[in-house]
Amino acid sequence: MIHLFMIGKRIKVLSDLQKWIPEIFRGAILFLALAVPAQLTHAVSAPTKITIHVPSKSLSVMPYYFGMDKGFFSSEQVEPQLVVMAPPTAIAALVAGELDFSTTLGAATSAIMRGLPLKRVFYVQAEPSHALVAQPEIKSVKELNGKILAVTAMTDAVGMSAALILKANGLDTSRVTLLATQTTDNAYKSLVTRRVAATLMAPPYTEELQAKGYQRLAEAKNYAPLSFIGLVASTESLKKNPQKAQGLIAALHRTLVYMHNPANRNEVVQYIAGYHKIDLALAKKAFASQMLSYSKDGTKPRGAVAREIEIYRETLKIAKPFTPDDLEDMSLLKKVQNRAAAPAR
Residues 152 and 55: beta-carbon distance below 8 Å: yes
- What Rg do the C-alpha atoms of the chain give, in angstroms? 28
Mean pLDDT across the stretch 149-163? 90
DSSP-derived letter for residue 318 is -
Quick check: do 48-127+227-338 and 131-222 share a fold? yes
Q: Which residue has the higher pLDDT, 42 or 86?
A: 86
Residues 228 and 106: beta-carbon distance below 8 Å: yes
Instruction: Give the DSSP letter string of 258-286.
Output: HHH-GGGHHHHHHHHHHHHT--HHHHHHH
**pTM assigned to the model:** 0.82
pLDDT of residue 44: 54
Please state the CATH superfamily assignment of the domain spanning residues 48-127+227-338 in this structure. Periplasmic binding protein-like II (3.40.190.10)
Name 150's Cβ contacts closer than 8 Å, sequence gap at least 6: 178, 179, 181, 186, 187, 190, 191, 195, 196, 198, 199, 200
Residues 86 and 153: beta-carbon distance below 8 Å: yes
Residue 142 pLDDT > 90: yes
Angle between helices 87-95 and 105-113 (to 10 degrees): 60
Q: Which residue has the higher pLDDT, 23 or 120?
A: 120
Residues 198 and 133: beta-carbon distance below 8 Å: yes
pLDDT of residue 47: 82
User: What CATH topology corresponds to 131-222?
Assistant: D-Maltodextrin-Binding Protein; domain 2 (3.40.190)
Residue 141 pLDDT > 90: yes
Give per-residue pLDDT as tens, 277-314.
999 999 999 999 999 999 999 999 999 999 999 999 99
Residue spans of the domains in the chain: they are 48-127+227-338, 131-222
